Amino acid sequence: MTLTDSTRAAVGGVDLDMLLVRAASGDRDAFVEFYDATSPRVYAVILTLARDADAAASLLEGVYVEAWERLRRRSAPPCPGMEWVSLMAHRHASGRR
């Protein structure tokens, strides 16, 4: 089992990496599907660090805006999808955007 396999299994078998490859080519539906599959877990990470629901919701939005903007400049993220977005979430929540 690889890191990517375990990440996929954690979100119900959705191939997050393929969704991001499609999103990088401009497929907004793929990005929405990626958001739907990952946002509950990413929100939990942010809420744990921010300890404020309103701040966590705002930070969550910022994470996915950054993810969309970064994808538009490349063909795929540099690491597995869940890891990539979780790292961004941690940076946002700790104030190191």
Among candidate residues 71, 63, 70, 57, the one with its CA nearest the CA of residue 88:
63
Domain ranges of the chain: 27-93
| pTM more than 0.75 | yes
Say if CB 60 and CB 35 are below 8 A apart.
no
- Please name the amino acid found at residue 9: A
Query: In this structure, which topology does domain 27-93 adopt according to CATH?
Result: Rna Polymerase Sigma Factor; Chain: A (1.10.1740)
Distance CA 91, CA 84 (A): 11
pLDDT in tens, the chain (97 residues): 344 444 443 466 789 999 999 999 999 999 999 999 999 999 999 999 999 999 999 999 999 999 999 998 887 788 899 999 999 999 999 886 5
